[in-house]
Chains A and B, each alone.
Chain A
Amino acid sequence: MAVPGPAPNAARRGVLVIPAYNEAARLPALLAGIAAQALPLEIAVVDDGSSDGTREVAARAGATVLRHPFNLGYGAGLQTGYKYALASGAPWVVQMDADGQHDPRDIARLLEPIRAGACDLVIGSRFLEPTGYRMDPLRQLGRRFFVALARGFGFRVTDPTSGFQALGRRVLELYVGDAFPSDYPDVDVLLTAHRHGLVVREISVEMHAGVRASTLHGGMKSVWYLYKMMLSLWASSSRVTRS
């Protein structure tokens, strides 16, 4: 897809992408925490059609606001950030959730391997080392299932649903395609990156309980998630095989 070219004075610094939907209450603390790290990055909050003033809160904090005219989904929000970063000439992107479950102090550690050119994608994992993070049994079962499934494809990952990641340009170029899911980009897109020969690493991070984790909660939503992820895994692996 064609994305608008770089802005006239676009600096070649990284972009921190924060997809947000009705997060006006939690954003100020998160943005203040990020500002305290004094990192060389542009903060881009993707307001996914919020109705609670998320856009104004983010703009007041000095963030670039990418506002969807209507709700498109978490994955589409991330992708808007990737497209913006690519168009701005950003060398890398860090993505984190707006609900405060990710710690801004981990951003620099997450970025190190990318900036060193050691890999293309870094996942902040809750399970690489014991961190005391508690996950309810059903979600834990789902996570183990997808970890095992990814291993079946020759891809070793401990936290495939982590939304805390650092991505290099090669990953961004892959993720701005139309195959990137609009709802939950989890193990399926990680596997796509792996199968395209991109180097994926994990580092251990601390996380607090958040709201996005609801994708693996009980009920019909988890059944839909399981179905959709299986189909997406099959489709993405067959696409790579064909290409």
Chain B
Amino acid sequence: MNPNLTPAQLRELFLDNPDLEATRWLALSISVLLIAVVLLLVRKRALREEYTPIWVAVSATLVFVSLRLDLLRELTRAIGAWTPSSTVFFLGELFLVAICLNYAVRLSRAGTQLKNLAQELAILNARVDALAPRNSPAPSAEAGA
């Protein structure tokens, strides 16, 4: 490598690097595998249908990018990154942050719903205890659940 290259020239060198077919096929394989895993999880009822669009979208994006690496290169130029792989990592991290925040929101909502249910169960069990004859053993909360 020529040691007299300026950073701008060096960046262009990175960007103009020819696409590797191996990279394209690896990305395509991962996309197909991801879709297959999502479908399998839905079939096994381990993943509900309403949670699948985001993963199908990720797989579709990966397929699209694998087929159109030139667009990834243009995006890399646009955001000022040096290599397409940096762009992929950057977008991947953004996606992970967004998805974590989304799940934190869902978890908060589920926690509130769980608390409300447990409270209603406690109140209803107290009502059942009050209706039961005094001398009979009170049903346990676990049994009520």
Contact = CB atoms under 8 A, between A and B. Distances in A.
A226 B86 CA distance: 39
Interface of A: 1, 3-4, 7, 44, 46, 59, 64-70, 72, 76, 79-80, 83-84, 87, 178, 182
A68 B127 CA distance: 14
| Majority SS at the chain A contact face | mixed
A65 B141 CA distance: 11
B120 A69 contact: no
B contacts with A: majority SS: helix
A66 B115 CA distance: 14
A7 B112 contact: no
Contacts of A76: 115, 118-119
Given A3-B123, A69-B144, A76-B115, 13 more contacts: A4-B124, A64-B126, A65-B126, A66-B122, A66-B125, A68-B122, A69-B141, A72-B119, A80-B119, A83-B120, A83-B123, A84-B123, A84-B126
A66 B118 contact: no
A67 B127 CA distance: 11
Contacts of B112: 178
Interface in B88-145: 112, 115-116, 118-127, 129-130, 138, 141-142, 144-145
Contact of B123 (A66, A69, A72): A66
20 contacts: A3-B123, A4-B123, A4-B124, A46-B122, A59-B129, A59-B138, A66-B122, A66-B126, A67-B122, A67-B125, A67-B141, A68-B119, A69-B118, A72-B115, A76-B118, A79-B119, A80-B119, A84-B122, A87-B123, A178-B112
A172 to B, nearest CB: 14
Interface string B6-30: 0000000000000000000000000
Contacts of B126: 44, 64-67, 84
Contacts of B119: 68, 72, 76, 79-80, 83
